[in-house]
Amino acid sequence: MSGLFAVLRRSPRASAGLGLLLVLLLLALLAPLLSRYSPTSQEFGTWLKPGAPGHLLGTTALGQDIWTQLVYGARLTLLIGFTAGLIATAIATAMGLAAAYFGGRTDEAINVLLNVFLVLPGLPLLIIASAFLRGGGVWSIILVISLTGWAWGARVLRSQALALRNRDFVQAAIASGEGAGRIIFSEMLPNLAGLIAASFFGTALYAVLSEASLAFLGLGDVGQVTWGTMLYWAQAKGSLLQGAWWWIAVPGLCIALLGTAFALINFGIDEVTNPKVVHAGRATRVLRKKSAAPVKAAPEGQALLAIRNLDAGYVTPNGNVRAVRDVSLDVQPGEFLGLAGESGCGKSTLAFAATRLLDAPGVVFGGEARLAGQDLLALSPEELRRVRWKDYSLVFQASMNALNPVLKVREQVYDAMQAHGVRDPAQLEARAKELFALVGIREDYLNAYPHQLSGGMKQRVVIAIALALEPRLIVMDEPTTALDVVVQRQILQEIDAVRRRLGIAVVFITHDLSLLVEMSDRIAIMYAGEVVEEAPAHQLYAEPKHPYTRRLMSAFPPLDGPRERREGIPGRPPSLSVTLPGCPFFERCPSRMPGTCDVQKPARAELEPGRSVACFLHSPATVQSPAAQEVAVYDKRSVV
Ligand SMILES: Nc1ncnc2c1ncn2[C@@H]1O[C@H](COP(=O)(O)OP(=O)(O)OP(=O)(O)O)[C@@H](O)[C@H]1O
């Protein structure tokens, strides 16, 4: 039910569709109140025009009241639509899920059945089936439509369920020994709810149109009053020849309105459950709110990447997740900037949003990300294509999986260069070899296919591709996390050597704070979507200022010295769906100042050039409280 309200709240199309459907349902339910006649009564004058006394929509050639037939006809038409829709969707769901879950012979058998039903032309099949079941009344029509209308939905549900079957959470449920019923109904079915609802409305529409077609051809039960049989009688009695167009127009219009209502609801469901429809055509959706804080002008300095007041997150049915909140950050040319913070604090969202790679349902709500003065968030897709790889490139943890398994590595290394105008085969060859030497792979691996390389080698290939056009900036989000520590270290050392040699700036995201301290020039610490501290790496290591940074540091093993027991950070980060009036770390902070930190947001204050912290303990305006004293006597040896 809450899902239905979410759809209505988020989609004006769904609201319009449901409104329309409600009106038609009310017509059907209130039929005895809306007309005092019987729909089959033939006691009135024939061919009366709309507006004739007592006959709002006129009468038929048989002397029946058209308005009465319309409201009573809505009952059977809707009954057929909903019931056939329900039965066909239930068959489609059962078939689709069974095929996907059990696979093997079951899948093969269901697939054959599906293909047979899909290959048979719909209307002739309907006609033959209804001829067999003739005389069975409305229920035989419902049965015929249900049995001929399930295959399309089953095909769509099967492919979706197949994809779901391979998802980690389903595999984990299977591995943990959950029964088939529980996996299908608790793990898979809820994930298909949107598709099942869409399939229901699609099939209900098919049922209404099929009933109308059968009735129009005289194959339904023409003794019943439905919008379809109204059309049949209007046509049989030559209403158009008699100039009584309204007899055909009125039920025809109602069928069209019902179809529109189902289609609008379906669009709405698609919009809400499939964000790719809403964000179609753009990888990163940028919404600059008029009310957003004015974007501060980038300083005159030479920051290569200047992120200003960036707000980004995800649009979900339960509201917006603000994963990046008013973040401003500079990356200097040739600098190695580390980005650290607990899982879920928004590091990846920041990297993706700033580089225009945030996929739907991700949205940039406001702010700027300027690369050498050019606002990446304002570029057209074509401009972006030109800048990406040439001016900046990206390497992610899963990047190695992006290598095409059926293309040789050489072609994939060439691709990035060719897309940016390098055409000369000799130049391509020389550059590819040079890149492989840079990242430490033998050049004969250029002729290999991805499956012939180890994970570490594939990730090196991806890094080579990212370096191919010597961009000024590479954003790396956990590029080596999936690899073993020895390979990880080798690759990182190579990245460092290459970036020093070529003067490339790197934004590096990892959970490994020790590694970050070792590699970075500067580190920015994120918490709950905000950058809470930023400092040169050695200063951050030696003297972290923000209580969160201290806690984070104390959770990691020291770079040298004896082994010590490390502590986690008690408590959990706040939800990113709510707006916090004060410091996001307040609840977990050992030095918190109630009345200050929970009611006011500490601005990020610059303590010295290149070093800033968002904490009232370090804000010049804050009077030193006993809690602040506690921090002042903090002994860094207890942390690192
Ligand atoms: N597609 C999505 N829909 C809704 N919320 C999302 C989506 N992707 C991420 N989030 C939320 O956004 C927040 C920030 O996620 P993000 O991946 O940027 O964090 P992170 O610091 O990079 O985490 P990690 O280190 O685990 O990769 C998290 O709370 C996450 O739950």
**Overall domain count for the chain:** 3
Cβ neighbours, 10 Å, residue 595: 10
Has residue 318 been placed in a domain? yes
The answer to whether residues 280 and 358 touch, using CB atoms and an 8 Å cutoff, is no
List pLDDT tens digits, range 214-251: 888 877 777 889 998 999 999 888 888 888 898 999 99
Has residue 388 been placed in a domain? yes
| Ligand 1 touching residue 525 (CB < 6 A) | no
Q: How distant is the alpha carbon of residue 566 from its chain centre?
A: 37
Query: Do both 20 and 162 map to the same domain?
Result: yes
| Ligand 1 touching residue 638 (CB < 6 A) | no
| CA-angle at 334, arms to 332 and 534, nearest 5° | 45
The answer to whether residues 395 and 401 touch, using CB atoms and an 8 Å cutoff, is no
Has residue 433 been placed in a domain? yes
What are the Cα distances from residue 349, in Å, to 55, 284, 313?
64, 11, 7
Look at residue 361 in the predicted model and tell me its pLDDT. 82
Has residue 211 been placed in a domain? yes
Query: Do both 586 and 439 map to the same domain?
Result: no
Positive or negative, the CA dihedral 330, 331, 335, 338 is positive
Domain that holds residue 176: 2-39+54-273
Over 395-410, what HEC string results? EECCHHHHCCCCCCHH
Look at residue 108 in the predicted model and tell me its pLDDT. 92
Looking at residue 134, which CATH number applies to its domain? 1.10.3720.10
Query: Do both 310 and 250 map to the same domain?
Result: no
Strand, helix or coil for residue 193: helix
Among protein residues, the one with the nearest Cα to ligand 1's atom 2 is 314
| Ligand 1 touching residue 318 (CB < 6 A) | no
Positive or negative, the CA dihedral 230, 233, 235, 237 is negative
Cβ neighbours, 10 Å, residue 10: 17
Query: Do both 329 and 464 map to the same domain?
Result: yes
Can you tell me which atom of ligand 1 is nearest the CA of 529?
A: 14
Pocket probe mutation, ligand 1, options 278, 324, 348, max atoms within 8 Å of Cβ = 348
Can you tell me which atom of ligand 1 is nearest the CA of 511?
A: 25
Can you tell me which atom of ligand 1 is nearest the CA of 313?
A: 12
> Which H helix or E strand runs over 12?
helix 12-29
Query: Do both 263 and 374 map to the same domain?
Result: no
All residues at 6 or more sequence positions from 376 whose CB lies less than 8 Å from its CB, including other chains: 354, 355, 356, 369, 370, 384, 387
Q: How distant is the alpha carbon of residue 462 from its chain centre?
A: 25
The predicted complex's ipTM stands at: 0.96
| Ligand 1 touching residue 348 (CB < 6 A) | yes
Has residue 495 been placed in a domain? no
Pocket probe mutation, ligand 1, options 320, 349, 477, 572, max atoms within 8 Å of Cβ = 349
Query: Do both 359 and 411 map to the same domain?
Result: yes
Query: Do both 191 and 314 map to the same domain?
Result: no
Query: Do both 309 and 262 map to the same domain?
Result: no
Query: Do both 11 and 150 map to the same domain?
Result: yes
Has residue 282 been placed in a domain? no
Measured over all CA atoms, what is the biggest interatomic distance in the chain, rounded to whole angstroms?
105
Query: Do both 537 and 599 map to the same domain?
Result: yes
Pocket probe mutation, ligand 1, options 273, 318, 345, 531, max atoms within 8 Å of Cβ = 345
Write out residues in the chain with pLDDT < 50, as ranges.
275-283, 288-300, 623-640
Residue type for position 329: L
Has residue 573 been placed in a domain? yes
Query: Do both 11 and 143 map to the same domain?
Result: yes
Q: Residue 522 and residue 609: Cα distance in Å, rounded?
A: 12
Looking at residue 380, which CATH number applies to its domain? 3.40.50.300
Mind giving me the DSSP string for 449-490? -GGGS-HHHHHHHHHHHHHTT--SEEEEESTTTTS-HHHHHH
As given in the structure block, the two tokens for residue 497 are: 């050597």
C-alpha of residue 346 to centroid of ligand 1, in Å: 6
Query: Do both 161 and 24 map to the same domain?
Result: yes
Look at residue 134 in the predicted model and tell me its pLDDT. 64
What letter would DSSP give residue 274?
Answer: -
Q: Structure pTM?
A: 0.60
Has residue 509 been placed in a domain? no
